[in-house]
Amino acid sequence: MPQQTSLPTRLAELTAVQALELFRQRLLSPVELTQDCLARIEQHNPTVNAFAHVDTTQALTSARAAEARWHAGTPCGPLDGIPTTIKDLTLTAGMPTRFGSATSDPDDPWEIDAPISHHLRQAGAVILGKTTSPEFGWKGVTDNPLHGITRNPWDHRLTPGGSSGGAAAAAALNLGLLHQGSDAGGSIRIPCSFTGSFGIKPTFGWVPQWPASAMSQLSHLGPMTRTANDSALMLSVMAKPDARDGYLGNPRADDWLTPPPTSLKGWRIAYSPDLGYVDVAPDITASTRKAVEKLQDLGATVEEIDPGFDSPLEVFNTLWFAGASQVLERLDMDQQDKLDPGFLGIARRGADISLRDYLAACRAREQLTAQMQLFHQQYDLLITPTLPLSPFEAGHNVPPGGPYREWMEWTPFSYPFNLTQQPAASLPCGLDDQGLPVGLHLVGPRFQDLKVLQVARLLEQHLPDHPNLDL
C-alpha cells in the first residue's frame, strides 16, 4: 500500500481500497464519501432504478460513527466507513427486504440481519440501502412487479442483466463502493458482464446463507465492485462462518488480499471460446480472445480446449424449477395472482417434476462436478466469455426477435458452474462493436477462489480501461 495517496478530483471515481487509505491519512471522511454517494443516488436512481430502498438517516448515522472512530485512530474493522449496498433478497435489520414481490409485507418488523449483513456491519460498512432484483431472483434480467424495470447505465434503453441487476448498475455508477449480489445461475456474473463491473461467485460454502435459498445449493453470495481488488477486500469480510448456515462447506479463511503474482509462468489455463456448443457473437469472441492473449503475455500456458461436457440446460432447469416451486408453498392463491407471470409459470412447472426426474438431475449434477474436478487437475483455470451476446432491450426476458425462449438459453456459460459449485468471476475485458462492455469468465477449481481473484487482479492491470460513465 503506498504511503501517500492524493485525493482524487472526483469522489465518484474512488475504489474502496483507495478510500480506506484516504481515511487513514485523514484526507477524506466517511461522512463526505457517504454524502457524495447519496447525492449521486438521488441523481442517477430515477433513471437506472438500481435501488429498492435507500435509508439516508441510517447511512449518515453509521458514517458519523465511522468518522469518529477514524479520528480516534480506532477503526472497527476492514470496511469501516465504506458505503455498501445489500441485495433486496438478503435480510437487513432496519430495512425492508421485499424480494421484488408484491406478496411481501412492507410492515414486517425487519429486525434480523442475515449472516452477510451482520458480517458487513461488524466490519464497519455503511449500509446505504437495498438494490433491485427480479421477483425472488428468478431470471437473468432485472424487473419486478413491485419496483419496475432496472436499466443499464451504459444505455438506459438496455437491461443491466440480473438477477443482481440493481447491484451491478450501482457498481458501474459507484453508487456505493461495495455491493452484495447473489448467484444461483449467473446472477452476479451476468449483470457484471453487461455493466462492465467485476463480480465473483465464490465456491459454495465460503459465504454463509440464512435463510437458505429456495434454490438450495445452486445459490452463492458474493461481491460486486468496480475492481477485483475491491471484491477481494469485500470477500475477506463476507467469507466467514455463521452457525445458522447448515450448508457451510469450508469455514477456513483464505487470505483473499494476498497480492497477485507479477507473472503467470507455470500456470496452465484452458480457453474455451464456446464450450463446444454455444453460438457466440463475433465481437464478443474477439474481445475475450484479446484478453486471453494477455494471459499468454503474462507467462501463462494457454490451451484452447473445451471442458468436454454437453449442455446441462435440462439438468439445471429441473433443479431450478423445482426450487421455484417451493415459493408457491407459502403463498395462497390471492398472493400467487400478484406474482410475475413468468415466475409463476416456472414454479408451476417445477411442482410437476417427478421425484424420479429430480433425482436423475441430481445424479447428472454429481457427474458434471466430478468431470470438472478431473479437468482442473490439468488446468488452473478455465476461461470463457461470460455471455455470448451484448445487452439487449430492457423489459424483456430474452432479446426481442432472437432464437431464445427463456433466459437460461442466453446464459449458457454461467449456470453450469452453479451446478458444480465452482468459483467463477466476470472481469470486464473490453467493448463490443456497439461500445458496450464485454465480460471475461474465469472459472477455478472448488475452494481455489484465490486463484481466480489473483489472475483477475493481475489481468485487470493490463487490460484497457473502459471510457468513464457519467458518474
**Residues designated catalytic:** 87, 163, 187
Dihedral angle, C-alpha 207, 153, 343, 346, nearest 10 °:
-80
**188 DSSP assignment:** T
Strands 148-149 and 198-201 come out as unpaired
Containing 109, the helix (H) or strand (E) segment is none
CA 331 to chain CA centroid, Å, is: 28
Ramachandran bin of 276, using left for φ above 0, alpha for ψ from -120 to 50, beta for the remaining angles: left
Strands 424-431 and 437-443 come out as antiparallel
Rounded alpha-carbon distances, angstroms, from residue 185 to 24, 364, 407, 422? 39, 16, 10, 12
Q: CA 119 to CA 221: how far, in whole Å?
A: 13
φ, ψ at 19 (rounded to 5°): -60, -40
Q: Which residue is it, cell 432464437? A: 403
Q: Three cell numbers at 224?
A: 460486486
Query: CA 427, 456, 191: angle at the middle one, nearest 5?
Result: 20
198 CB-near residues (< 8 Å, 6+ apart):
192, 224, 225, 226, 227, 228, 230, 231, 425, 426, 427, 428, 456, 460
User: How much is the CA Rg of the chain, to the nearest whole Å?
Assistant: 21
60 CB-near residues (< 8 Å, 6+ apart):
31, 34, 35, 38
Q: CA 299 to CA 336: how far, in whole Å?
A: 55
Q: CA 364 to CA 346: how far, in whole Å?
A: 21
Q: CA 174 to CA 11: how far, in whole Å?
A: 9
220 CB-near residues (< 8 Å, 6+ apart):
182, 183, 184, 188, 201, 202, 203, 204, 207, 418, 421
Containing 69, the helix (H) or strand (E) segment is helix 56-72
Q: CA 114 to CA 109: how far, in whole Å?
A: 14
Three-class DSSP category at 155: strand
Q: CA 423 to CA 235: how far, in whole Å?
A: 12
